Amino acid sequence: MISIPKSEYARRRKALMAQMEPNSIAILPAAPVYIRNRDVEHIFRQDSDFQYLSGFPEPEAVIALIPGREHGEYVLFCRERDPERELWDGLRAGQEGAMSRFGADDAFPIGDIDDILPGLIEGRERVYYSMGTNQEFDRHLMDWINVIRSKARQGAQPPNEFVALNHLLHDMRLYKSANEVKVMREAAEISSRAHVQAMRVSRPGLFEFHLEAELDYEFRKGGAKMPAYGSIVAAGKNACILHYHENDAVLKDGDLVLIDAGCEIDCYASDITRTFPANGKFSPEQKAIYELVLASQEAAFLEIAPGKHWNQAHEATVQVITAGLVELGLLEGDVEQLIASEAYKAFYMHRAGHWLGMDVHDVGDYKVGGEWRVLEVGMAMTVEPGIYIAPDNQNVAKKWRGIGVRIEDDVVVTKKGCEILTTGVPKTVAEIEALMAGAAQVA
Ligand code: GLY
Ligand code: MN
Ligand code: MN
C-alpha cells in the first residue's frame, strides 16, 4: 500500500520549525471523535494539519513542536496503552509507540497534559496555533496560558504573541512533494477504476445507489478507507443539483448519469466527475453539451503551467462555454458581452476547480497580495467545468432542459505544464459509448 514515508513527516516538522521565530512553540490537537448516536461514533478521520506533521492516526493526541528544546523538539501527547480499552476499541501506540514508530522525541500520556504543557509553553515568546477551528481546544489553551499568567509573580513568563499556524502550514501543504503526488496518483487510479466499473454496470432500471455501491466496492478493494467526500450519483435532472446526495432515484432510459466521486488514500483525496448515458448512448443534445464541456476542459488544461495564474484555467472554460452556448442557441448575443454580464452563470455557476490534497477542497491561498496566485510546480488542483440546464428554464427549447454535465479531472503542475492524474477513465463520447457497449455485450 502506497503511503507517505516516516522520513517525510520528519522533514515537514523540520521545515515548519525552520520557519518559526526563535523561542516559540507550535501546538496542534488531533481531530475530535464525533458521536453519531449514543454508543456509535462517526468513522475517525485525522485532522489534516495534524496528520501532515505526524502521520499519527489516533484521536486524543496533541503535538507540541518546540525548536531547540534540549529533551527533544517533537513532543507528542497521546493515549496510554490500556489492555482493557484496547480489547474493546483497538490497539494504541502509547508513548513507547509514539517514539519508536512515529518519531516523537518525547511522549506523555494525554491525561497529564494539564500538568506538563503549561511548563512547555512557559518562557516561550510565541505560540503558533490555529485559533478558531476547535473551540474546545481553544478554551484549553487559554486555560493553560492563564495558569502561567497566574504564576507571573513567582517569575513565570507567559507568551506575548499568538501566531496563526495555519498560514505557514497551509502554504507548505499547497506544494506537493514527489511522495504526495505518488499517493494522489494511487487514489486517482483507484477512483478511476471505480468510475469505469460504474459505467460498465449502468443500465436503465437500476437505482443511483446501485452505482454508488459499485464505487464503494472498488474504493475498498483498492485499499481506500473511505471516500474523500460524499459520492454524488445523479441521474437525469438530479445532475443539475450541484451537491446532490440523495442517490436514491431510478436511472431512466434516456437519462445522463453524473457521478462525482473519489476515494482517499493515506488522507489524500481524489475527486473525479464523469457524465455518461444510463443506456450507453448519448442523445444529440446530450452529446452537444457534453462535447462543449469537454472542449472547455481541454482549453483549461492548456492554461495550467508554471507562470500562468490561478484564474487562467477558469477564464478559458468561461470563454469556450459561452461561445459554445451561443452557437447552440442557448444564449444570444455577443460572446464578450455575455461574459462581461456573466450571462453564462445561468448554465455554468461554479468555478473551474479548486486546490486538491489532504482536503478535497484543499488549503492554500488563491490570491496573494490581491493578485491571482501564479502556479508553481507541485500545486495540485481539479479541472471541472460543467453545464447545467435547469429543468424549468423557460428560455431554452424543451429538448435541452434537465441536462447536467460536469467533467472533472485532477492535475499536478509540472515543469512543462501539468500531469493529469485521472486519465484512467474514458472521456470522449466515442470512448464512453465503446466501453458501455462492450460491457453490455459481456452482460
Ligand atoms: N466533489 C466536490 C467538488 O467537486 O468540488
Ligand atoms: Mn468533484
Ligand atoms: Mn472538485
Q: What is the CATH number of domain 6-173?
A: 3.40.350.10
Query: What distance lies between CA 424 and its chain's CA centroid?
Result: 19
Query: What distance lies between CA 385 and its chain's CA centroid?
Result: 17
Q: Which three cell numbers stand for residue 404?
A: 447536467
Q: Using a CB cutoff of 5 Å, list residues around ligand 3, an ion.
A: 271, 382
User: Is 178-442 the same fold as 6-173?
Assistant: no
pTM of the model: 0.96
Which ligand has the shortest distance to the CA of 382?
3
Q: What pLDDT score does 224 carry?
A: 98
User: Among 343, 366, 350, which residue's Cα sits nearest to residue 293?
Assistant: 350
User: Among 302, 337, 322, which residue's Cα sits nearest to residue 387?
Assistant: 322
Alpha carbon of 242 to ligand 1 centroid (Å)? 9
47 lines ligand 1 (CB under 6 A): no
Pairing of strands 126-129, 161-164: parallel
CA distance 31 to 60: 8
Instruction: Find the angle CA(6)-CA(60)-CA(50) to the nearest 5 degrees.
Output: 40
| Location of C-alpha cell 518562557 | 123
384 lines ligand 1 (CB under 6 A): yes
All structural domains of the chain with their residue ranges: 6-173, 178-442
CA distance 376 to 304: 9
Give the residues of the chain that fall short of pLDDT 70.
443
Alpha carbon of 229 to ligand 1 centroid (Å)? 8
Asked if residues 61 and 30 have their Cβ atoms less than 8 Å apart, the reply is yes
* Cα–Cα distance list, 240 to 29, 166, 389 (Å): 39, 35, 7
Q: What is the atom index within ligand 1 of the atom nearest the CA of 262?
A: 1
Q: Exposed (0-12), middle (13-18) or buried (19+): which is 317, by Cβ within 10 Å?
A: buried
359 lines ligand 1 (CB under 6 A): no
The length of the chain is: 443
Other C-beta atoms closer than 10 Å to the C-beta of 253 total 11
Q: What is the atom index within ligand 1 of the atom nearest the CA of 384?
A: 4
| Location of C-alpha cell 507540541 | 64
| Location of C-alpha cell 455577443 | 334
Q: Which three cell numbers stand for residue 124?
A: 516561550
Q: What pLDDT score does 317 carry?
A: 99
Alpha carbon of 407 to ligand 1 centroid (Å)? 11
Alpha carbon of 353 to ligand 3 centroid (Å)? 6
Pairing of strands 74-78, 62-65: antiparallel
58 lines ligand 1 (CB under 6 A): no
Alpha carbon of 62 to ligand 2 centroid (Å)? 32
410 lines ligand 1 (CB under 6 A): no
User: Among 409, 440, 438, which residue's Cα sits nearest to residue 425?
Assistant: 409
Out of 191, 359, 360, mutate this one to test ligand 1's pocket (max ligand atoms within 8 Å of CB): namely 360
268 lines ligand 1 (CB under 6 A): no
Q: What pLDDT score does 442 carry?
A: 73
Q: What pLDDT score does 48 carry?
A: 98
Q: What is the atom index within ligand 1 of the atom nearest the CA of 361?
A: 5
- Give 212's DSSP letter: H
Fold of 178-442: Creatine Amidinohydrolase (3.90.230)
Query: What distance lies between CA 116 and its chain's CA centroid?
Result: 35
Amino acid at 245: H
Catalytic positions: 39, 243, 260, 271, 350, 354, 361, 384, 388, 406, 408
User: Among 320, 399, 395, 408, which residue's Cα sits nearest to residue 356?
Assistant: 408
